[in-house]
Structure 1
């Protein structure tokens, strides 16, 4: 997601051609965006949700669900797709309405509110694709991932994946979070004036599209996106001809030599991750590469020399009691350290922020009348207009509370039928504490743009798996409770982001809520179906396959820690895990301390992210190299023409991701039909080739 700094936001103002650098005179330097749209009628919420917006959302949701599913099943690194959703939604409907307008058949013009509805639906649907757990906690229940645990795959701790119960589970748990945060929307948006950077940036993007200058730029961006999409799709098709079996093709090209290839250091020609690298911040990609060098370049070769001493030499590489145990549990330790720090830090920051607001309110209580009068005099046009429309279509609090109670009750009844390892009182406890965590996550997301849903999910795994115990199916109970908690906490912060976007584009809170509901429903249906498509066509969950789905093993490993403790881990694995757990906390503390003492050079930007470093510990460095290539392309582009790069790099990256990811559809169909590529391009040592 493209973000603007606060300094840049202060200087932006729309005129009748687009964005200029002027300020208004009466609002204390505040932005006057709504004056551009003062002559544009804002449709009622019932006309913001149109048939064409729903059809467009449905089609784009299919595309974005495929993209997110493929990213989940490969490395789990997923960039923000808000820009692509907003841009494609604008392009599709604007093209459709322009054609109708020329034919004299256009009945309702395309508004920014309708654009916001489309973007909300698509992002909500693709958000479910991430939080649904098809590539993480649900896959961790499967026999494929459980079979890698050497004896831990007891029947009560394994659940065969089935399309029916997966869809049912998602429909039962995914809507509860929407009602948990609705009563707090006015407090978050109007009283606390939380920023919600992603929601704000998306609103600026949509507002810009609907000005003359912004529409021209959007048209050029769509053209660039289409070109990069075609290139990526054709290149993926070309690569398929050389990949007749595993280990063949460009994706197995030993770029840095065969020895480096054996340690998973190579460039695999993935357009998807080159595009992801262009969207992600530089330090994310560098952190991935640092993690790959530390693990696969240094640690794993050293530990492999201890085979027969630290762990049995007879174990397979995929065994959690062998080298795989070090890979999985050290990565988990770093993730838990990073997650624990951010959860505690966010709770402290939320509490201190609320205390500061309360103190400020108490100090100014004696001059409330004068302050209100003064504020009303200087309050700019934007805030008045936005507040008016934000308060016009209210969602009654009693409906939100009743909806949460009814959906929670249904979930408490139904979930134990799907997962008999969980009892009704486990679900009751989860729903009792979830609203508090949802508030903390939504508030923290408003301050920092961080959603800690997956971290709360990991904490839930440990708590509920240890509560239920190994003999009673604690692994499945922990993973299922992760789904319950993640769904509530994630959808709550996503909805509040959408409310912020709607506030800034004058979209009705009701249209935002119902478009979120519609998008969530699409995600609950599409996400399992698309995952099932890949699951049947490929060896999903195989660490050495094309779709290793790393979070399946990592989340199951967290559940095993909850039910078994640390006694089952290989020798010295606990010591190494504790060290890297502490390193993760130390790096986060260092980053926050440097932010507190911010210097001219903003040194905190160069502190690597522990969460990003942890992912290559399990997978290797090949995708980190792809993403660093994307960063290098962006860096050189910005050196040559920074404005051009800022305008078109997100479109190029989105096209690369879309084209390569969508090739997965025909590739999976060919695989299901038993059609193999005609050529196997493989690389072997010279001695073996001569023999």
Structure 2
């Protein structure tokens, strides 16, 4: 008969075996920090403030480049530095903990990404196509409802994707490592200094370049011309010049080098080959950016849609696993089986309650603001859930939320269901892409929390605070920067994603028969090129893959001024050089300096717009 000691040892072995087989139980015992300070008032207020600032910056950058940039790491570095300074000044006594900073990052991320998910593609596209500009308050509610629906869609996915499948969510993992470095190794001081100093440089340059007023002794040039001609026309007329914006340089430094050189390649092909050929044949009336891009947006849209849709189709295994994950979560537990995380994780029932509470409001807003028929709005709702599931799984595996595919996919569906209705075409795509983005964003933040031992429920509440802040900030800022449709597609705000969404909607709703024959030919060639690039990226020998351009980079280069692509290429090249030759220095400098340039210049650009609107500065 076994002794009491042997019985105890046997029980310990059983518990250890059970823990080894249950990753959730192991996380609960080894990583989770019960009772730790997390979602505090100061974390929420700091996150809403920094997220609002990042949202303003992202809006400006998006209208310039078509990209929304990650904000969480920048916000965490700034928050850490702020509270270190407040502690040094004896204004605050309690340490700003790593989990407080993580919760703050969830708030800031939700607010900063309010420009993404089709929001700032769809609404300006709607203005461009129809002249419709929804009132500010209803538009804020619209954005907040879409984002909150995405937050609730993430609930039934979290445990399967993060706890059990342990998907990488690379940005979430990197954020967790950054937070550990800041709070446990004091690694923020230099990064914060670089970020703040770069921000000041960006702000000063933007002021002396853009503030046109009598009392300013001089203005910095916006562009520096290149000393050659194309087809007898100066290169600068073809938008090929050196740009005086540090935003573009910083954005390029945050991209991959492949995207950077693909942008340069696209600019050369578009403004050095395609544009001059079209001009010589009369397809482009005069060498002005707006005239050029009205032609080239068609092949650009075809290339982006074909490449992104095919890339999305190649991820069919992820798509299938997405639905399998959801089914697994709703399986019944065995009799007597206790859920060890019942008091920690968000209950699964929160998803249907939250989603069903928001769905009627979304339907009413679609019908009221955008005259979407009731039946079409009802079809859009389950589609948002499907897109949220798929987008979240793909983000976890690749770190890329496929909004560039999700938006056009919805446009294609509603182009067939509602031919000729450009409003419904654009705004239903806004719903699906927005839900997909914010679901993936919350799961990315939850990955950081999972690695740090945070409480998922508190992170979900943090995300909802950020949704409110982002919606409240982005709408008035958009109205200020885009007072009329003429601003969209100008050299000041090329807004390439807006042009692509508008082009796809116009083509689906009105047809492409009225286009110039050369434009139709260009669409066919670009569509095939997008497919070819995607196939090469997938099946070319590994040794050749570094030389295959990014379809997204080439496509975007066709709808932004060539000077933008050149500047981003220079930024990407310098960052790549630093990463290869001086990796330690690059780790300390590339992200904070680039983020500082972007934040400083973009916020000064918005400040100048406010000063002009209030009459303090003359235009």
Shift of residue 80 of structure 1?
Answer: 2.6
1:300 aligned onto 2:275: yes
Structure 2 length normalisation: TM-score?
Answer: 0.86
What is residue 563 of structure 1 aligned with on the other side? 509
Q: Provide the residue aligned with 1:121 in structure 2.
A: 107
Q: Are 2:559 and 1:618 aligned?
A: yes
Equivalent positions of 1:151-300 (< 5 A) are 157-211=130-184, 213=185, 215=186, 217-240=187-210, 249-257=220-228, 259-300=234-275
Q: Say which SS state the counterpart of residue 250 (structure 1) adopts.
A: coil
Cα displacement (A) at 1:674: 3.9
Aligned with residue 329 of structure 1, among 298, 305, 308: 298
- Conserved? CA contact 2:260–2:572, under 8 Å: yes
Aligned: 1:608 with 2:549 = yes
Contact 1:84 1:654 in 2 (8 A): yes
Match of 2:527 in 1: 581
Distance between the aligned counterparts of 1:141 and 1:452, measured in 2? 22
1:451, distance to aligned residue in structure 2 (A): 0.4
Give unpaired runs (5+ residues) of structure 2.
1-19, 328-338
Pair 657,347 (structure 1): closer, same or farther in 2 beyond 3 Å: same
1:549 to 495, 513, 517: 495
Check conservation: 2:47, 2:108, Cα contact below 8 A.
Answer: yes
Does residue 35 of structure 2 align to residue 50 of structure 1? Answer: no
The answer to whether residue 470 in structure 2 is matched with residue 523 in structure 1 is yes
How far the C-alpha of 1:62 sits from its partner, in A, is 2.4
Matched residue SS, 1:44: coil
Distance 1:467 1:243, change over 3 A: farther
Equivalent position to 1:591, from 513, 518, 537: 537
Q: How far does residue 665 in structure 1 lie from its aligned partner after superposition?
A: 3.0
Which runs of structure 2 are paired with 1:665-676 in the superposition (5 Å)?
665-674=606-615
Distance change >3 Å, CA 539–CA 326, structure 1 → 2: closer
Q: 8 Å contact 2:51–2:108 — kept in the other structure?
A: yes
* Residues 172 and 414 in structure 1, CA contact (< 8 A), matched pair in contact too: no
**Conservation of the 8 A alpha-carbon contact between 1:540 and 1:547:** no
Q: Which runs of 4+ in 1 moved over 6 A?
A: 242-245, 314-317, 352-356
Q: CA RMSD in A?
A: 3.2
Q: CA deviation at 1:639?
A: 5.7
Q: How far did residue 188 of structure 1 move?
A: 1.0
Instruction: Report what 1:133 is aligned to.
Output: 119
Q: Any idea what the Cα deviations from partners look like across 1:131-188, whole Å, max 9, x if unmatched? A: 3623x2111111xx23xxxxxxxxxx44234323321322332211211230121111
How far is 1:495 from its partner? 1.4
Matches of 1:406 and 1:673 in 2, distance apart?
Answer: 40
Work out the CA distance in 2 between the residues paired with 1:562 and 1:314: 27
Which segment drifts farther, 262-271 or 571-580?
571-580
**Is 2:38–2:454's contact at 8 Å kept on the other side of the alignment?**
yes
**Residues in 2 aligned to 1:326 and 1:232: alpha-carbon distance in whole angstroms:** 33
Cα distance 1:231–1:92, how it changes in 2: closer, same or farther (>3 A)? same
Shift in alpha-carbon separation, 1:243–1:131, aligned structure 2, 3 A: farther
- 1:504 is displaced (CA, Å) by 0.4
Q: Is the 8 A contact 2:410 2:429 kept in 1?
A: yes
TM-score by length of structure 1 reads 0.77
Kindly provide the CA deviation profile for residues 257-314 of structure 1, in whole angstroms up to 9, marking residues without a partner as x: 571100111111111111111111111111111100111110110011111xx57x59
Taking the aligned partners of 1:486 and 1:354, their CA distance within structure 2 comes to 18
Alpha-carbon deviations, 1:441-490, whole Å to 9, x = none?
A: 111111111101232111212321342232xxx11111110111112111
Secondary structure of residue in 2 paired with 1:253: strand
Gaps of 5+ in 1: 1-26, 147-156, 359-386, 679-691
Deviates most, 86-95 or 196-205 = 86-95
Aligned partners of 1:243 and 1:249 also within 8 Å: no
What displacement does 1:545 show? 4.0
Distance 1:627 1:317, change over 3 A: closer
Q: 1:391 & 1:223 partners in 2: Cα distance?
A: 43
For residue 444 of structure 2, give the secondary structure of its aligned residue in structure 1. Answer: helix
Equivalence for 2:479? 532
Structure 2 counterpart SS, 1:233: helix
State the 1:663 CA deviation. 0.9
Alignment of 1:498 with 2:483, yes or no, is: no
Deviations 1:414-453 (A, max 9, x none): 3201111x11211111112222221111111111111012
- Partners in 2 of 1:123 and 1:270 — Cα distance? 25
**Does structure 1 residue 653 correspond to structure 2 residue 594?**
yes
Q: CA deviation at 1:324?
A: 4.4
What are the Cα deviations for residues 345-385 of structure 1, in whole angstroms up to 9, with x where unaligned? 122444379999x9xxxxxxxxxxxxxxxxxxxxxxxxxxx
How far apart, in 2, do the equivalents of 1:111 and 1:96 lie? 14
Q: How far is 1:516 from its partner?
A: 0.8
- Counterpart position of 2:8: none
- Distance in 2 (CA, whole Å) between partners of 1:91 and 1:160 is 40
Quick one: distance in 2 between partners of 1:181 and 1:663?
A: 35
Is residue 257–residue 572 contact of structure 2 (8 Å, CA) maintained in 1? Answer: yes
Structure 1 Cα separation of the partners of residues 547 and 560 of structure 2: 23
Q: Look up the SS of the partner of 2:70 in the other structure.
A: coil
Selected match of 1:451 from 401, 409, 420:
401
* Secondary structure of the corresponding residue to residue 54 of structure 1: helix
Contact 2:81–2:192 (Cα < 8 Å) also in 1: yes
Tell me what 2:389 maps to: 439
| Number of residues of Structure 1 aligned to a counterpart in Structure 2 | 578
CA contact (8 A) 1:79 1:280 kept: no
